[in-house]
Structure 1
């Protein structure tokens, strides 16, 4: 019987469901490839679950940042999103035009503006989060309790890996 293929091997397209190897048999390079592929596919599928189809990932990220952290200057948003200020200005302009954020004068610095999420923008974020949670919950329903426990453990480990 031929070994299962991964998406990066010649038999791409075959779903690779690895069995659980003994801890000492886990090859770091293979694990890194398998995790990267799984995480990217999961993230792509989750990003597709949004309440406004014409909202880009970057625009949603800015909205979510404002919902979580409150009003910010364009410079603070650019830094948080790791983009250049002109790119952030374009993103903010499109969000203002869509009625999802507003600009106001900065109360302490007349040279600055503050960007804040509107009620409509907040609803987009909350609805999108709910859709994403629902999509993932539906997929997790099909797993056994032991598989869910394994994923809970993996989620904690991944959180630790990315926070280091």
Structure 2
């Protein structure tokens, strides 16, 4: 059985590794790219499809006011657009545009190319463990607070 001090130490090591990798992946972005919040919201729209601004705020775990600013920037930049909700005509959905999709896919491709190259330095077993760890990290990201 693992004691709480050891678990805390493990948690700190995972946090530091994840944070260092996240910083490194951000460094692979083109200068002048979107902020992290804008990029994350745009990526979610690309993955999950059209949604309301309030649902997007909840999914991104930001306040509705923060998401309103993010969405406005994406709209102004032509990366997203408002469309009527086909189910509830009173509601408006935020949808990624073709330009937004192109931006997300190019950014994702650039960062994944760097990561794939870096992973070439790992053994087959290390790569398999890393993929398993990524799946576990994804599960942890959805854990309740």
TM-score normalized by the length of structure 2: 0.81
SS at match of 1:102: strand
The counterpart of 1:93, out of the listed 48, 72, 75, is 72
Match of 2:60 among 70, 77, 81: 81
Aligned to 2:128: 149
Q: Which residue of 2 aligns with 1:131?
A: 110
**Judging changes above 3 Å, is the alpha-carbon distance between structure 1 residues 87 and 161 closer, same or farther for their aligned structure 2 residues?**
closer
The reply to whether residue 57 of structure 1 matches residue 23 of structure 2 is no
Give the RMSD, CA atoms, in angstroms: 2.3
Query: Which has more radius of gyration?
Result: 1
Paired residue for 1:111?
Answer: 90
- Hey, what's the Cα distance between the residues in 2 that align with 1:136 and 1:159? 17
CA shift in 2, pair 1:105/1:146, >3 Å = closer
Residue in structure 1 matched with residue 47 of structure 2 by the alignment:
68
Matched pairs, number: 139
Once residues 155 and 88 of structure 1 are traced to their aligned partners in structure 2, the CA distance between those partners, rounded to angstroms, is 27
Q: Are 1:45 and 2:24 matched, yes or no? A: yes
